[in-house]
């Protein structure tokens, strides 16, 4: 039987382990018939990814801090798989000391690093990715409500997420001529590796959980469902948007 993503090749960037939001996206897309390719940040994460996807051909190194690493990854994907239909960008990073206390104590370097890895990287991925994206295609990134509200300790990452959401709008405008839609999912707080970098993340997770409509955290599989929709042909009218998948936390 034809599935929602049958015949679509999707690149998943940002699986660190089975708790990763990117892994929730991958599972939902596999269930819906997609063929997947993955990038990993470094050799250490490759080992972790190999346990989930024991198919080395589909795993390609890509450190988004480096243009040449991104360009090289897309060249390899092109050679091995040809054109692709979508990219899930589920990548963010800030130094731990920037995710604690008052934002005025942020360092210039720490602020720039958070912007580089968490916001600029989407532009770089779009730039090198466009050559191997089909027309139509879809790019989805992951953001958080800390872009709009001053969430304790989230600091430079909140500012990077605000920039990321603006990047989505500008990229959506400029990539339309290539038939590429660009959108973001604003996911509710989920306990992943990335969240544990935020000081008092237990409070952040608890607060967020208490404010969901049913008192339970959103899951990576629920976020994956929305990502599946956004890369599918059901979402051709959704362009440059940020869709909340947080069980109502942003409303309450």
Ligand X SMILES: NC(=O)c1ccc[n+]([C@@H]2O[C@H](COP(=O)([O-])OP(=O)(O)OC[C@H]3O[C@@H](n4cnc5c(N)ncnc54)[C@H](O)[C@@H]3O)[C@@H](O)[C@H]2O)c1
Q: Is 139 in the site for ligand X (CB under 6 A)?
A: no
Which one of the listed residues 93, 144, 178, 244 is annotated catalytic?
Answer: 144
User: Per DSSP, what are the bridge partners of residue 39?
Assistant: 13, 60
Instruction: Please report, as residue ranges, which positions from 187 to 216 form the binding site for ligand X (by CB under 6 A).
Output: 187, 189-190, 192-195
Give one word for 7, left, alpha or beta, with left for phi > 0 and alpha for psi -120 to 50.
left
Question: What would the two tokens of residue 175 be?
Answer: 């990539």
Q: State the burial class of residue 7 (Cβ atoms within 10 Å of its Cβ: 0-12, 13-18, 19+).
A: exposed
154 is catalytic: yes
Q: Is 20 in the site for ligand X (CB under 6 A)?
A: yes
The secondary element (H helix, E strand) that includes residue 51 is helix 43-52
Alpha-carbon gap, residue 246 to 186, rounded angstroms:
7
244 is catalytic: no
Closer residue to ligand X, CB minimum distance, 96 or 136: 96
Which one of the listed residues 111, 154, 170, 178 is annotated catalytic?
Answer: 154
Looking at 80-88, 132-140, 142-150, 175-183, which segment touches ligand X (CB under 6 A)?
142-150
Binding characters for ligand X, 58-77, by CB under 6 A (x = yes) = ----xxxx------------
Could you tell me how far CA 85 lies from the centroid of its own chain?
A: 16
* Binding positions for ligand X, rule: CB under 6 A: 14-16, 20-22, 41, 45, 62-65, 90-93, 117, 142-144, 187, 189-190, 192-195
């Amino acid at each position: 039987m034809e599935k929602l993503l049958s015949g679509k090749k999707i690149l998943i960037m940002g699986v660190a382990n089975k708790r990763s939001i990117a892994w929730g996206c991958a599972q939902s897309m596999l269930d819906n018939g997609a063929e997947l390719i993955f990038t990993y940040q470094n050799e250490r994460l490759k080992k972790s990814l190999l346990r989930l996807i024991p198919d080395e051909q589909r795993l390609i190194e890509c450190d988004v801090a480096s243009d040449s690493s991104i360009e090289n990854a897309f060249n390899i994907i092109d050679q091995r798989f040809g054109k692709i239909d979508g990219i899930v960008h589920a990548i963010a990073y800030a130094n731990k000391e920037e995710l604690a206390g008052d934002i005025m104590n942020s360092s210039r370097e720490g602020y720039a690093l958070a912007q580089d890895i968490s916001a600029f990287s989407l532009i770089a991925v779009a730039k090198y990715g466009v050559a191997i994206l089909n027309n139509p295609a879809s790019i989805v990134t992951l953001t958080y409500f800390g872009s709009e509200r001053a969430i304790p300790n989230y600091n430079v990452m909140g500012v990077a997420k605000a920039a990321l959401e603006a990047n989505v709008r500008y990229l959506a405008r400029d990539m339309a001529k290539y038939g590429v839609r660009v959108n973001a999912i604003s996911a509710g707080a989920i306990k992943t590796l990335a969240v544990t970098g935020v000081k008092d993340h237990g409070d952040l997770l608890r607060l967020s959980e208490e404010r969901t409509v049913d008192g339970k955290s959103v899951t990576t599989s629920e976020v994956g469902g929305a990502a599946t929709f956004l890369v599918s042909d059901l979402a051709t009218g959704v362009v440059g948007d940020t869709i909340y998948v947080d069980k109502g936390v942003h409303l309450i």
